[in-house]
Structure 1
């Protein structure tokens, strides 16, 4: 398994990238991945997105230690639920300790656990996000009212919320999985010059599914430069991607 990450600031943001990502090895064949999107509705989107990523890595590392020490075996679905519940618990405590206002935690998140052994992945989206598995891309958008992470931190019964939350995806027989923040849908022309036309779906496929020759480590940077040079497009919002190659 190989995990690539990429994040960049959007052209409409001048000071901070309000996205963040996290990845943690839970076991020798399970990995926790996440992309976090701090929104303009939050006063400190860049700070809280980075904070959530840091807390999530803490949660993942502690989970990995416990699984190793206790020699426990668990599936991706069970691990995803456990990590999400612990993340909520940790953030609820930090919200009080740091005196974070509700608007400070108005962010969205896509969180997943991959299983290399079974070639499966379990993904949950809170708010809006993009999930692509072997070329099939699913865009999960906000409800009528914004579905921010902070809206769920005060839930008394996590089990009831988890069961009723319908933005969950299970991917089976995966070869290639990607999760991305909604900024990936904001590529816009930056000049009036003539360029080759391209659709949003083609850009999604190019970034989240296609594999190209060249060093894998610089794959996303090469792709973004190609989109700029070939199609005359730049992302106006921050873009963050985590892509997992199972083979």
Structure 2
């Protein structure tokens, strides 16, 4: 099982990362269960949302809140912030969008956001980092951008390109390409993260068919799973 993860995240005691396509299509909960079993993570302790490309963030401040939410239907949102919730975690699905992991020095405060371009335009990365700080995160924040579509493949129309910072838009042969990595970096730095604490390997889901699903490339509803979990 191949997991794209960040060493600094793992060093805090958190577990998390993005699974390659080799684990299968993660759109169905039933497909996720054997993955969590293989990782020795209790599937019923991983929270899920109904993603809508929004800027809505769900804050969980205790294990009891997490337990109550787990017993309800999935809520519409695109980011999780968990504070002091040992034994709990969260998951998102992506197929070109950015799985954004955020955490503090203690590993007791962490977040996971599904950052599609619409959510990024709505400042979801910035808002998630701010929500994590407001929840009580200790010390500097760290970020990891998991595998996602890179600027080489993310061609957009002019009306989409104009919604991004000029630094994040490239023009080639009268075509517009958006650099989601740069846009998210700008938002995280605005939230106070330093450049050295933002890890963004250039894994392109659209280019690398061997390891990743991609909606832009295949137009098939197949998803990668990203998760973050704080063991007891």
Tell me if both proteins adopt one fold, taking TM over 0.5 as the criterion.
no
Q: Which has the higher helix share?
A: 1
TM-score by length of 1: 0.30
